[in-house]
Amino acid sequence: MTLSSMASNDHSADERFPIIQAGTAACRMYGPSKTTVADIARLLGKSPASLYRIFPSKAEIWNAIVADFYESDLSYALLPAGGLVSAADQIKETMLSHHRLLLQAQQADPQMFCLIVVAASSNWSSYRQYRNRLQGLVGQLIRAGIGTDEFQPTDVRAASCLCASLAVLWDPRFVSATPPNYCETSAQDSFPSRLRPCGDWVGAH
């Protein structure tokens, strides 16, 4: 299953959301490789043609399902700012929390996890939005650390470089390859003791 591009859709969320919900349910029942638009339409009591009036293609339905899954099941909010929590600690917790959410999905929701691996492997826009959102969170924390002199002034690419260096924690493709005995301690061990996202751009004073 490939996804070359995603066209904008003018239909309202009220029209799209029931299809996304039914598509998620169908994926969990049949798996992403076996689910058809007819399966989704059947759950809604509609015809496949009616779904294509909302989503131009099956690929767009899948992309919307993945985007919703990232928002509803894999979302993470930053810890409240506080003097007792350093920016470095918040970055670490942000990465490890994303990792925990992915491991939970892999174990408790394997069909949907399989779908987000496909999305990452094919670079769907839903995966890119997830990656960009994570980079935005990390960038926000890096800027906060610079503001408190915890970090040295850094290049604007630092957030993306740090995320790339720790992709094993947040990218579903890497998480899918983790062995069954992988645990929280193993994830923490993979985190560097000192944050240096790109060369010497970021480092604790």
- Specify the CATH number for the domain of residue 50: 1.10.10
pLDDT at 51 over 50: yes
86 and 182 in a common domain: yes
- Other residues' Cβ atoms within 10 Å of the Cβ of residue 58: 18
109 and 32 co-located in one domain: no
Q: What is the pLDDT of residue 105?
A: 95
Name every residue whose Cβ is closer than 8 Å to that of residue 54 and which is 6 or more positions away in sequence. Answer: 9, 11, 15, 16, 19
- Write down the pTM of the prediction: 0.84
Rounded distance, CA 205 to CA 203, Å?
6
Burial of residue 194, with CB atoms counted within 10 A of its CB: 0-12 exposed, 13-18 middle, 19 or more buried: exposed
Most confident range, picked from 12-16, 21-25, 91-95, 161-165: 21-25
Print the domain residue range for 36: 13-56
Specify if 67 maps to a domain.
no
90 with 172, same domain: the answer is: yes
Q: Tell whether 49 and 95 lie within a shared domain.
A: no
Question: Do residues 137 and 185 both lie within one domain?
Answer: yes
Q: How far apart are CA 40 and CA 158, in angstroms?
A: 42
pLDDT for residue 53: 94
Q: Are residues 50 and 110 in the same domain?
A: no
Same domain, yes or no: 147 and 97: yes
Q: What pLDDT sits at residue 175?
A: 92
**Domains in the chain: how many in total?**
2
- Which is more confident, 75 or 173? 173
Q: CB–CB of 120/127 below 8 Å? A: yes
Mean pLDDT of the 66-91 span: 82
Phi and psi at residue 5, to the nearest 5°: -160, 160
Pair 28, 118 in one domain = no
Asked whether residue 40 is domain-assigned, the answer is yes
